[in-house]
Amino acid sequence: MKLIYTRRPYFLGRRVHFRFSCVRMRTDSRHVCRARELGISTAAVKEVHLPLLARCGDRSSVRVLQWNLLADGMSNDGFLLRDILADPDGFEDVGDVLKCVAGAKAHDMEALRDKFCTPRAANNAAAVVDWQLRWARMKEVVVESVPDVITLQELDHMALAHRELAELGYACSLPSGAYSPAHLSLQASDTAKYLAHLDACGVAYAPNFPSTCRKIHLQKNADADVDDDGCAIFWRAELFDISGVDFFPFKSQSTRNSCALRASLRRKSDDAPFFVICAHLSSGGEERHEAARVREATGGEFGSESLRHWFARTTREGPTLFCLDANSAPNRDETRTVWKEFRGVDAVRSVWDAFFSPDGAALCDLLPVTTNKMRGPLSQQTAKIGEHMCHVIDHVFYSSAFSFVQHALLISYVNVEEARRNLLPSLAIPSDHIPLVLDFDLPVRRSGETVVH
């Protein structure tokens, strides 16, 4: 795994450091205790580490954490995982499974299931994706990186995140806002009522409703305390005020409503305004799936504004960060891609510009990745077993008022073998996506100065 960085220190202040240090000790303890309860080896726990860089810049710095968390309700998807259980009896080398899975054909799957769907494999998978363990580690990542803005996809424990991230100093709602789960208020997929519910809550959270994720979770545990999965935006309340939360509905589907969302923030120290947009496009690796994502990005309903136009208009209104899981790599082969659509917006740049040209061509041999996963014999998605997904699919686009400073976490692999030794999710990265930790600079606004977009 290759990691290359430069460093410049950034002072957060004694009070912030003290609070985050105290919380870090608590979250570290919770993660370790839960790992013990699940029978995870001490050696595996000791390896948990992310090589995060110190912040860059001064009080004009804005650090962003963009992360698809892997919804709890969809986490038990048969991912091929390293054996981390403490009990040595029946130890399973993931390398042996990889060799069989990588060359398997469709007609081999039943034999693979018979061979590798063992009780130990099931227990190991359950331990790695255990929500309590993963959430404790997710909070550790927040504490370790100290982001100013957090954008999330596939969050299906919003009430929990709202409460526990508030303990770390993060807000996610208007001053008068209050979270209310959509499934408690809405009975059917009515777009108008769905949007009215989101507006009434005043919370920077856009759930998919009704979601497949929650349905799957309740089928496994009817008493589960789980929300519909969706996108969310959090910000450090001591640094920023919120003036508005807006929602952009994707084209109506017969059974589900979903939205992108936008938070209008203002930095308290200099009154500098900016926008944060968070979105999640549909999945799938085939050409038809990319075409569907392009339609999501560029097709407004009944001639209305598209997501691309909404983003472009927002950049004209003020400095803008657009954070999304696009499920789409810059260097896809199609003529029209999600990357080309958003990178082509006037005066917009990407945090991946050092690696990919505006038309998606790779600019270097060693490319970063934001996902590194493979489904194994435990997966119910037979067609995806053995498919290695190792690409950049998570993005942050930004308007020219921002300057991009650095990736505080940047991961790449020198070859396929190394990538397959580090498949996700893992104890260190408890999702099938790698968190993006990014430092930007938004110039300090002088009194009476006009905002440059």
* pLDDT tens string 32-75: 999 999 999 999 999 998 999 988 767 899 999 999 999 999 99
Is residue 6 in a domain? no
Distance in angstroms (rounded) separating the CA atoms of residues 362 and 307: 26
pLDDT band at 210 (very low <50, low <70, confident <90, very high): confident
Three-state DSSP class for residue 365: coil
Is residue 446 in a domain? no
**Residue with more model confidence, 25 or 377:** 377
Q: Around Cβ 235, how many Cβ atoms within 10 Å?
A: 25
Is residue 326 in a domain? yes
pLDDT band at 23 (very low <50, low <70, confident <90, very high): low
Among 5-9, 37-41, 122-126, 152-156, the minimum mean pLDDT is found in: 5-9
Q: Residue 5: what pLDDT?
A: 40
Give the amino acid at 323: C
Is residue 195 in a domain? yes
Is residue 7 in a domain? no
Distance in angstroms (rounded) separating the CA atoms of residues 138 and 130: 12
Distance in angstroms (rounded) separating the CA atoms of residues 6 and 406: 8
Domain count, the chain: 1
Is residue 199 in a domain? yes
What residue numbers bound the domain in which 93 lies? 14-441
- Name the nearest CA neighbour of 264 among 307, 238, 235: 235
- Dig out the tokens for 175 from the structure: 């001053």
Is residue 453 in a domain? no
- Dig out the tokens for 213 from the structure: 């994720």
Give the amino acid at 284: G
Given a contact cutoff of 8 angstroms between Cβ atoms, the answer to whether 51 and 428 are in contact is no
Burial (CB count within 10 angstroms: exposed 0-12, middle 13-18, buried 19+), residue 182: buried
If you average pLDDT over every residue of the chain, what do you get? 88
User: Residue 348's domain is classified under what CATH number?
Assistant: 3.60.10.10
User: What is the percent of the chain where pLDDT is above 90?
Assistant: 66
Q: Residue 7: what pLDDT?
A: 38
Residue 12 phi/psi, 5° resolution?
-90, -20
Among 356-360, 370-374, 379-383, the minimum mean pLDDT is found in: 379-383
Is residue 35 in a domain? yes
pLDDT band at 4 (very low <50, low <70, confident <90, very high): very low
- Name the nearest CA neighbour of 395 among 311, 304, 322: 322
pLDDT band at 302 (very low <50, low <70, confident <90, very high): very low
Q: Residue 300: what pLDDT?
A: 61
Q: Residue 384: what pLDDT?
A: 79
Q: Residue 261 forms beta bridges with which residues?
A: 247, 278
